[in-house]
């Protein structure tokens, strides 16, 4: 009787320890586990495929070079994300003619424009789109945000870093992260509502 094949659980701590001891295969496994997410994040921040590829390579090469300095106080993934965010922001900076740090953009604090579209959504709006169409739609919505909002949203709500980790990665205060996150979330809600709102007669049935 054959033993059913079981995929071994991903044990980040053990893999990091092996990689630190020089096990290249262990480091490769860490890379393969996270490379898609790092590439997606880099693309969302830089909005450029070539830059995203550079960020992907440079982040993991740096992580490998400095692996001895990784103390294990945070997750390996959070550590790589921080490296990648810095690389991605540097790319953005290089492409900007005025050389200002995109995160230092003045933040619009006017609250009047925060909510314009108030309409219920279809039951399962995402099912009316193919996976690819939905991906494009969500990416376009993110890309329409200013970098200051975009980066906070990506780290907090897509990569699921904590508020504190996001603040540390972006060198922002906790309150700055919170206020940018709120605006990013509301702006995306606004954009998605335009796509997903229920168009039937009972759109305002809750009233």
Residue 63: CB minimum distance to other proteins, A: 10
Residue pair 190/116 in contact by the 8 Å Cβ criterion = yes
Q: Quick one: 18 or 178, whose CB is closer to other proteins?
A: 178
Q: What angle do CA 140, 145, 148 make, to 5 degrees?
A: 140
Q: Quick one: 41 or 169, whose CB is closer to other proteins?
A: 41
Residue where the block lists tokens 């897509």: 158
Residue 102: CB minimum distance to other proteins, A: 21
Residue 174: CB minimum distance to other proteins, A: 11
The rounded distance, in Å, linking the Cα atoms of 85 and 47 is 13
Tell which residue, 168, 154, 178, has the closest CA to residue 38. 154
Residue 28: CB minimum distance to other proteins, A: 7
Residue pair 174/86 in contact by the 8 Å Cβ criterion = no
- Which of helix, strand or coil describes residue 174? helix
Distance between alpha carbon 14 and the CA centroid of its chain, in Å?
Answer: 25
Q: Quick one: 75 or 101, whose CB is closer to other proteins?
A: 75
Q: Quick one: 69 or 99, whose CB is closer to other proteins?
A: 69
Q: Quick one: 35 or 168, whose CB is closer to other proteins?
A: 35
Residue 74: CB minimum distance to other proteins, A: 20
Q: Quick one: 98 or 112, whose CB is closer to other proteins?
A: 112
Residue 198: CB minimum distance to other proteins, A: 11
Most distant CA pair in the chain, distance:
68
Distance between alpha carbon 93 and the CA centroid of its chain, in Å?
Answer: 18
> What is the contact surface with other proteins in residues (CB under 8 A)?
22, 24, 27-28, 31, 35-37, 39-40, 53, 56-57, 60-61, 64-65, 111, 114-115, 118-121, 126, 134-135, 138, 157-158, 160, 163, 178, 181-182, 185-186, 188-189, 192-193, 196, 206-207
Tell which residue, 131, 108, 72, 133, has the closest CA to residue 184. 108
């Amino acid at each position: 009787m054959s033993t059913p094949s079981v995929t071994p659980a991903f044990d980040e701590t053990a893999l990091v320890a092996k990689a630190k001891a020089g096990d290249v295969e262990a480091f490769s496994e860490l890379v393969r586990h996270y490379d898609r997410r790092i590439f997606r994040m880099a693309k969302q921040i830089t909005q450029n495929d070539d830059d995203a590829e550079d960020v992907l390579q440079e982040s993991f090469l740096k992580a490998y070079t400095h692996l001895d300095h990784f103390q294990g106080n945070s997750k390996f993934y959070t550590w790589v994300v921080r490296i990648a965010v810095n690389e991605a922001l540097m790319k953005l900076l290089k492409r900007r003619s005025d050389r200002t740090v995109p995160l230092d953009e003045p933040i619009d604090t006017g609250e009047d424009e925060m909510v314009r579209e108030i309409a219920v959504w279809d039951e399962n709006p995402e099912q009316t789109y193919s996976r690819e169409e939905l991906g494009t739609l969500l990416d376009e919505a993110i890309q329409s945000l200013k970098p200051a909002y975009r980066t906070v949203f990506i780290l907090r709500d897509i990569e699921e870093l904590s508020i504190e980790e996001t603040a540390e990665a972006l060198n922002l205060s906790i309150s700055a992260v919170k206020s940018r996150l709120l605006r990013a979330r509301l702006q995306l809600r606004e954009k998605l509502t335009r796509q997903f709102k229920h168009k039937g007669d009972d759109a305002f049935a809750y009233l």
